[in-house]
Chains A and B, each alone.
Chain A
Amino acid sequence: MTGSNGHGATLAEKLLARAGGLDHVVPGQIVEGKVDLAMMHEQGAQTVAPFHQMGAERVWDPDRVVIAIDHWVPASTEGAAVLHRILRKFAAETHLPHFYDVGNHGICHQILAENGWVVPGDLAVGTDSHTNMLGAMGAFAAGVGPTEMAAVLALGQLWLKVPPTLQVRVRGRFGKGVTAKDLVLRILGEVKTTGATYKAVEFSGPTIAGLSMPERFTICNMTTEMGAKAGMVAPDQTTYDYLAPIAKHPMHPVQPDADAAYERRVDIDVDGMPPMVACPYSPDNVRPLPDVVREHVKVDQVFLGSCTNARIEDLREGAALMKGQRVAPGVRFIVSPASTKIYQQCLDEGIIQTFTEAGAVFTNSSCSACFGGNMGILAPEEVCASSSNRNFPGRMGAKQARIYLLSPAATVAAAIRGELADPREMM
């Protein structure tokens, strides 16, 4: 784990140089970055007041703004209904055409991904912390708060301090039943929740090159849990093939220099790596799943969902394990696809039937149980196995509830056994 002494630019530095209209930037430098895509979800409702207080009269570029409501869809409380109404009114008044409203909705990051709103070279900002996920496109994508977003809507730019880069190089082949989620949990176990604070995380190496876009979304998504400002993968043919039919604006890909100067380097070999689990109460409290399985951790609820792991590939994998099995007595199994489009695919492929016949509840697309404010809320002392991204105290409801973060396959294994289980034993 040493830094490189090269003089070249990392991917993050290339991206921020482009956003700032500069030839070259160095870590610590402040850049005024032009924004290629701005995304708001419900938290964007809090953008409206500061936008008006700033005296802004128009949005800098309505075609570069996406609104995607996802936390409470359809509105589950009066408060949420008000947030939605504020956003609809704002979109109408400022002529924002790209509003993914109820019926055409999904988790904001998935909406950006599956509709090609972020492309290689972009600087993207969103009002959700997991905006990092879109760095998988070879872009610089970061979360911001709503007041910051108001400034972005008004000016089309924001200041960014160029972060140093942590390079994570991955080699080896996943064994059966081991996934990109297990990889990112393993990395979190090493890097910890503060290991990338203010930094960019750049993933590379032969294993990363072999990952599909959905798998890259999963690993970039959880760089947020490492404290990172952004997580990213340099664009390659996989990126271009994914985006070719859907890209909303022209790509301007950049690559890191071969002699880029990384602040730190972490090397991971996934050969022989078992499935992993993040135990309460932190995403970096990571252990090999088989060790925890031996402790017979009984579960009350299982959640297969969230921006981290509710794409069609995740749900197919889960359904393949679920088929012909039953959800264990006393276990509530909630499955929530990441978008309406994925919901429709599940309908077409019989995935909804597989889950519901097994005794799971297959919900409308939303953030669902992940954040403890909408549905699937945990009571004190309850235990949940979840494919989501955070297990802090109170994250999914009661402070005393215990959340274990797992791959999609491992959540299904837990739903079948009624306790944490190794999905490889069921394949």
Chain B
Amino acid sequence: MKDVIEGRVWVLGDDVDTDGIIGGKYLTIIDPDELKKHVFEIALPEFADGARPGDLIVAGENFGCGSSREHAPQAMRAIGVGAVVADSFARIFYRNAINLGIPTIEARGVRALFEKGDTARIEMRAGRVTNLRSGAAVRFPPLPQHLLELLEVGGLVEKVRLELEHRKAAAGAVP
């Protein structure tokens, strides 16, 4: 995870639900490259064709509400979303996104600062999101240490892999 993330912004409103990110009819798709073709099909239909790797999502309240489907952040990761910043998140989406290694930042007031196509700079540790077009910025409480560590190692898979290796080594060290 980079400490400073910059990218072109796509803007969404409040209460973007998981059906709006990836519809129920796509939930049997396992291949991320297939999944990404349908990302935001309902909530932002022009996104899948127009997005470039490293683009950022800025949204309003309660982003990712609805189901527990990890397909939603998976599809966003597959298309290369660099970070998601929202006024607030639904809890399972937030957890899923961080587990997949996507920088996910709750920054109150962020939605009002951005229009489509603006460029954002996110400073993870300083806790600030800046609109590089207008200069407007909003502060956010930096992520707790254990979540920063999770993002640093690249997500939950890597974290548990290290934990299991550590346990195995500790067990092996016993004479």
Contact = CB atoms under 8 A, between A and B. Distances in A.
Interface of A: 30, 42-43, 45-46, 50, 53-56, 71-72, 77, 79-80, 82-83, 127-129, 131, 143-148, 150-151, 154-155, 159, 193-194, 197-198, 227, 229, 282, 371-373, 377, 390, 392-395, 399
B163 interface: yes
Contacts of B30: 45-46, 79, 82-83
A394 B42 CA distance: 8
A129 B27 CA distance: 14
Contacts of A159: 146
B55 interface: no
B99 interface: yes
A150 B42 contact: no
Contacts of B23: 372-373, 394
B156 to A, nearest CB: 5
A55 B156 CA distance: 12
A127 B24 CA distance: 15
B157 A373 contact: no
Given A143-B92, A145-B69, 6 more contacts: A56-B164, A147-B155, A148-B96, A393-B19, A394-B20, A395-B19
Given A154-B160, A392-B66, A371 B42 contact: no
A390 B74 CA distance: 22
24 contacts: A30-B144, A43-B69, A53-B157, A56-B164, A82-B28, A129-B66, A129-B92, A144-B92, A145-B92, A145-B95, A145-B96, A145-B99, A148-B95, A150-B160, A155-B163, A194-B65, A194-B88, A372-B23, A373-B24, A373-B27, A373-B28, A392-B19, A392-B66, A399-B42
Contact of A151 (B25, B26, B66, B156): B156
Q: Which 5 A-B pairs have the closest CB atoms?
A: A79-B28, A373-B24, A145-B96, A145-B70, A129-B68
* Chain B interface residue number, banded: 35 or more
Nearest to A152: B160
Interface string B60-104: 011001111110011000000000000011111001100110000
Contacts of A373: 23-28
Contact of A227 (B27, B42, B91, B146): B91
Contacts of B42: 393-394, 399
Contacts of B146: 30, 159
B17 interface: yes
B25 A197 contact: no
A362 B42 CA distance: 31
B17 A80 contact: no
Contact of A372 (B24, B62, B160): B24
B43 to A, nearest CB: 9
A132 B138 CA distance: 34
A223 to B, nearest CB: 12
A159 B68 CA distance: 17
B20 A144 contact: no
B46 interface: no
B173 to A, nearest CB: 18
Contact of A198 (B24, B91, B100, B156): B91
B86 to A, nearest CB: 12
B28 A146 contact: no
B29 interface: yes
A150 B53 CA distance: 27
Contact of B164 (A55, A72, A129): A55
Contact of B90 (A30, A71, A82, A197): A197
B33 interface: no
Interface in B109-147: 144, 146
Nearest to B160: A54
Given A56-B160, A227-B90, A372-B25, A390 B66 contact: yes
B68 A127 contact: yes
Nearest to B94: A198
A71 to B, nearest CB: 7
A50 B159 CA distance: 11
Interface in B17-52: 17, 19-20, 23-30, 42
A72 to B, nearest CB: 7
Given A145-B92, A148-B156, A55 B19 contact: no
A280 B137 CA distance: 35
Contact of A194 (B19, B24, B62): B62
A72 B159 CA distance: 32
Contacts of B28: 42, 72, 77, 79-80, 82-83, 373
Contact of B65 (A147, A227, A371): A227
A128 B30 CA distance: 17
Q: Among A83, A129, A147, which residue has the most Cβ atoms of chain B within 10 A?
A: A147
B152 interface: no
B163 to A, nearest CB: 7
A268 B160 CA distance: 44
Contact of A53 (B20, B90, B161): B161
B110 to A, nearest CB: 16
B27 A71 contact: yes
B19 A147 contact: no
A265 to B, nearest CB: 21
Contacts of A80: 28
A183 B91 CA distance: 24
B15 to A, nearest CB: 7
Given A143-B92, A193-B62, A372-B23, A392 B165 contact: no
Given A46-B30, A147-B96, A147-B155, A155 B160 contact: yes
